Every structure is written in structure tokens, then in C-alpha cells.
Amino acid sequence: MIKNGKYYLPPPGGERDFKGVFQQMASAGAGRPVDKGGFPVGQWTPELLADAISSIDTNRAGVDLRTVQLWFQENDKGISADNIRWLARIFGCGDPEASGAWQVELSAANRRLVAKRRKKKAGRQSQFRSAETIEEAVAGNAPANTPAVVAKRNGRRFNLATKTEALFGSQSSMALPLVVFTGACALGLISFTLNIHSVVFSPESGTSKQVGFLWAPNWTITFLAVLPLYLALVIDLLRCWKEEWRPRLVAISDPAFPSVGWEYRLAAASYAFWATFLITVIVASGYNWTATHLIPLLIGDPGSWAVDWGRIAIVRPELISVPSAIAFTGLVFLFNGFTAYLFFAGHVFLHLMKHDYIDLVKGLDGGFSQVSVPEIEDISLSLMQGIFRCTSLGVVITILMKLQSSYLQSDYVNLIEWLVADFRSPFGDHESVVRESASRGTAPGFYYSFFCLLAIVGTFANASIRIRWILMRVDGSRFRRRHFVPWVLMNGAMGLLVISYFLIGVLPGSIFFLLFSLVLTGYLLSKPAPTWRQESQ
């Protein structure tokens, strides 16, 4: 039947819900223009239907393409009353009487869908309550390693994973970074009062060196700038994943095969947070402070450790007393321990988001429709870019640690003079720039920064390989053509940062390579997200 030059089908009636009625009409091309033979010119697509609804004169607000895409997908999403009116106009071919009949039909079908959804939800809650009852009855025989049991067991005691997520889950992405920034400022002020903010140490043999607290980039620049920015990026990425990207993946997944919830995944990873806490707070900070500062200060001998702001009381007791040095270094390392935990807890969240993403996409079992492919590509590249931003800042922190350690073993008065000499070394004398002085002692930052680098680069490499594999699986034919450039930029910038780390103090003029790496990384960090979504559409 033809009405107003368009293909008209009457409301089918029956007991089908909105999804069934809509899919039948969209496939039949109801409301589409007809050709010379009286047949519809084709089926409805999300783009065509969104344009048709938005072109209705009285519909000034239009309709969002994402909303129309949800109508085409197999999910429990219904339709609003306003959109029922516009969709009825489309299926009714603009005829008032036919549009009214279609509005009645679509409203009834939508009510059936809502009732079906409520019934399904009630069934799930009933099953959940039954499972709880059974679990309580056979508590001693229940498997102990399932996510649900892990979450329930962890809920009965202090849950470090949940508490950490609460810190990162603040509504303001700057709350936690501001706490770290304020703590770093407080330590700087305390160093002023103790008169160790700027100290020139003159050994009996060798060149005088600036070993003040504020001259150490791994303690100042890291806590004042890089670490707060890193935490802000992790918080924002976690919020985007939980509130935006994950729900979008769940919406296009099969409701018959629900994925593991984020809470279960977080509870199952509780051991990772405890291991991170023990390593960063107890070992890397507590034991490190005891071995490198507390014991040397108590015995009055720096041993093989290089003299810095924390051990200056041994050689300059008139500047700061040993008890004051012990108290200040203990406070600094305590602050460092908890910030290091926050740093590596952020990496645990990066791994959790990556695993959650992979499980959700693999759960589609290859059922990638024309609508879901751009959605998956958009989320994949946005998640990968977020992981790159976080891990690249982590590598910058390790570079700052190695810069300070390399300077302490050089023959220059301060760090700036050492960097300037390295900048000029390709054009003149450079032997003293790369030569390490054995009399300066050992700098533990070399080893600590190296192990941190391994963990950070491992996080990035694992995410890059696995997310790229998912993209190749979703649409391998378009991956190289559409996503080659952003992937090369991220991998290239990370590779340059790693090379810069290893060249510090080894190759004369390595500052040039380091500056280029930092400029490229800064550009990728500051540039707005590319319009992958628009390109895919």
C-alpha cells in the first residue's frame, strides 16, 4: 500500500514487543519512498531513519543517531514517548490517521517490552537470592575462587581494592592529585625550615655538589607536576571506562550471556592491590629508607651511598642534626611509599580495564554488526590512548629518577650545569659528562628506576598488543588504513622515551634525544582526541 509516495504497512497487532515490531517494519522498509514499481527503495538503516526523523518539520530537537542505533540492536532498551510520536509519523507515511494507529501500536509494544524487562530483572534477583540462600546453607562446600564468592568474602573484611577505587573514583578528577601536590609543597616548606632545601656539599677530594632537597627532580618535579597529572589522567580514564565505554559495550553485547561485573573483577584483583601495597610501602620505601638513610645516619657513615640531602647530616652536622634528618627522611619516604602505591595501583586499574574490555569484546563471539564495529573501534582507540598517556608519564618519572642518580655520580656542581655540559658535549669536551666518579658512591635510583621502567613498559606493551589484536579481529581490513598513524605515534613515542632513559649518562649529547622524546610525548598528551568516531561513521 502506498501513502504520500511512501511504502505503507498497517500495524501488525499481536503480542510482540517493541523490538519485534520495529525490526519487522525496518526490514520491510515501512515508510520509505517507493520506486516506479511501487516497492520500497530499501530497508531502514540507523543513519537513514535518524535523518528522516530529524527532518520532520515539527521535530526541532531531532534525534540522536546513538538512540536510533539502540533500536536496531538486540537489547532491552525501549523508546521514549516523544520518539514514539516521530516514529509513528514515519511508519504512518505522514498520514494523520495512519500515524495515530501506529502511535497506539508502538506504545503498546513498548509497554510489553518494559514488562518483559521487569520480569527478567525480577527473575535475576530471585535467582540471586536463591544462590545466596544455597551458599549460606553449604558455605563450607562452595568454590572459593569464583568472582562472586571472592566479592562476598572480601566484603566481610577490609577491602583494599574497594578503598583504593574509592580514592580514584572521586567525582572530581583533581581531588587526589591536589592531595599529592599539597603534600609535596609541605615537604618543600619543611626542607626550608631545616635549611636543607639548597645545600652545596664540598668533599675533601672532588668537586662541590648541590645536594639540596629542592634540587632533586625526582622529589620535586615528580610530586609537584608529573605524578598529579598522572593521577588525574588515571582517574579520568577510569571514570570514562565505568560510566561511558563499558556501558556502551554491554549495550551491544548479547543479554543472554552477561559478562562478569566490574565489582566482581575488582574483588578478584584484591591480591594485586595488597601485593602492590607491600612492595611499594614496606619494601621499596620502608626497607629502602632503613638501608639507605636510617642505618647510615645512626652509625654516622654514608658507606657506599652517595651523599644527598638525606645523608648530609653525616658530613655537615652543623647544618642539620641527625634526629632531624631521620625524622625528615622518614616523613619523605612515608609520603613516597603511599604515592608509589597510588602510582602502581593506577597501573593495576589499567590492567583491569584492559582485561574487562577484552572479555566484553570477545564475548560478542564475532557477532560484529555494521553498527557495533565503529562503536568498538572508538572505545578501543580511546582506551589505548588513555593507557599511553598514563604509562608515558610513568616513564618520564623514571627518567627524572635516573637524571638525579646520574648527576650525583658526575663531577658537576648542580644538575643544571650537568645538563648544559651534556648539551654542549657534542661540540667540545664531553668526557666528564659521561664519566662516573667512583668517589661519589652508589645511587639506588639507578636500580629502582630500572625496575619501575620494566613494569611501566610492560603495562603499555601488553595493552598495545592485545587491544590491537582485538581491533584486527573486529575489522582487520580497515585497521592498517585507518588506525596506523595513531598507533605508530604512540608506540614510537614510548620507544623514544625508553631509549632516552638508557642513553642518560652513557652517550654524550643524549639531552638532544631526550628533549625530542619529551616534546613528542608532550604533543601527544596535550593534543585533543582524534575524531575516530566521526571517521568511522
Distances in Å between the alpha carbon of 527 and those of 366, 487, 519, 520, 524?
33, 15, 12, 11, 5
pTM above 0.75, yes or no: no
In a domain, residue 20? The reply is: yes
> 306 and 229 share a domain?
yes
Distances in Å between the alpha carbon of 49 and those of 41, 118, 272, 397, 535?
13, 28, 48, 51, 20
User: pLDDT tens for residues 76-120?
Assistant: 778 888 888 888 888 888 888 888 888 888 888 888 888 887 777
> 452 and 317 share a domain?
yes
> 232 and 378 share a domain?
yes
3-class DSSP string for 335-388: HHHHHHHHHHHHHHHHHHHHHHHHHHHHCCCCCCCCCHHHHHHHHHHHHHHHHH
User: pLDDT tens for residues 115-158?
Assistant: 887 777 666 545 544 444 434 444 444 444 444 444 444 445 67
In a domain, residue 388? The reply is: yes
Query: Are 266 and 162 spatial neighbours (Cβ–Cβ below 8 Å)?
Result: yes
Q: Which of 361, 347, 366 shows the shortest CA–CA distance to 463? A: 347
Q: Considering the chain, what is the average pLDDT of its residues?
A: 82
Distances in Å between the alpha carbon of 233 and those of 160, 323, 389?
21, 38, 7
In a domain, residue 14? The reply is: yes
Label residue 388 left, alpha or beta by phi (over 0 means left) and psi (-120 to 50 means alpha). Answer: alpha
User: What's the number of domains the chain is made of?
Assistant: 2
> 382 and 243 share a domain?
yes
> 12 and 109 share a domain?
yes
**Phi/psi at 199 (nearest 5 deg)?**
-130, 130
Domain that holds residue 97: 2-117
Which 8-state DSSP code applies to residue 320?
Answer: S
Q: Which of 43, 38, 44, 49 shows the shortest CA–CA distance to 1? A: 38
Percent of the chain with pLDDT over 90: 32
Domain boundary (55, 85, 117) is at 117
Which 8-state DSSP code applies to residue 214?
Answer: G
> 96 and 167 share a domain?
no
Identity of the residue numbered 75 = N
> 203 and 295 share a domain?
yes
In a domain, residue 513? The reply is: no
Identity of the residue numbered 480 = R
Question: All 3 cell numbers of residue 396?
Answer: 618520564
> Grid coordinates 511508519 are at which residue?
91
pLDDT at 496: 96
In a domain, residue 459? The reply is: yes
> 297 and 387 share a domain?
yes
> 56 and 200 share a domain?
no
In a domain, residue 432? The reply is: no
> 212 and 307 share a domain?
yes
> 366 and 459 share a domain?
yes
> 66 and 174 share a domain?
no
| pLDDT by 10s per residue, the chain, length 537 | 788 888 888 888 878 888 888 888 888 888 888 888 788 888 888 888 888 888 888 877 778 787 888 888 877 778 888 888 888 888 888 888 888 888 888 888 888 888 887 777 666 545 544 444 434 444 444 444 444 444 444 445 678 888 899 888 766 667 899 999 999 999 999 999 998 988 888 877 667 888 889 888 888 899 999 999 999 999 999 999 988 888 888 877 655 556 678 888 888 899 999 999 999 999 989 999 999 999 999 999 888 887 888 899 998 888 899 999 999 999 999 999 999 999 999 999 999 999 999 888 887 655 555 556 777 888 888 999 999 999 999 999 999 999 988 887 877 888 888 888 888 877 765 555 555 544 455 567 788 899 999 999 999 999 999 998 888 777 655 555 567 788 889 999 999 999 999 998 888 888 899 999 999 999 998 876 544 344 433
Query: Are 267 and 149 spatial neighbours (Cβ–Cβ below 8 Å)?
Result: no
Q: How far apart are CA 311 and CA 70, in angstroms?
A: 64
Query: Are 455 and 397 spatial neighbours (Cβ–Cβ below 8 Å)?
Result: no
In a domain, residue 52? The reply is: yes
Identity of the residue numbered 347 = H
In a domain, residue 151? The reply is: no
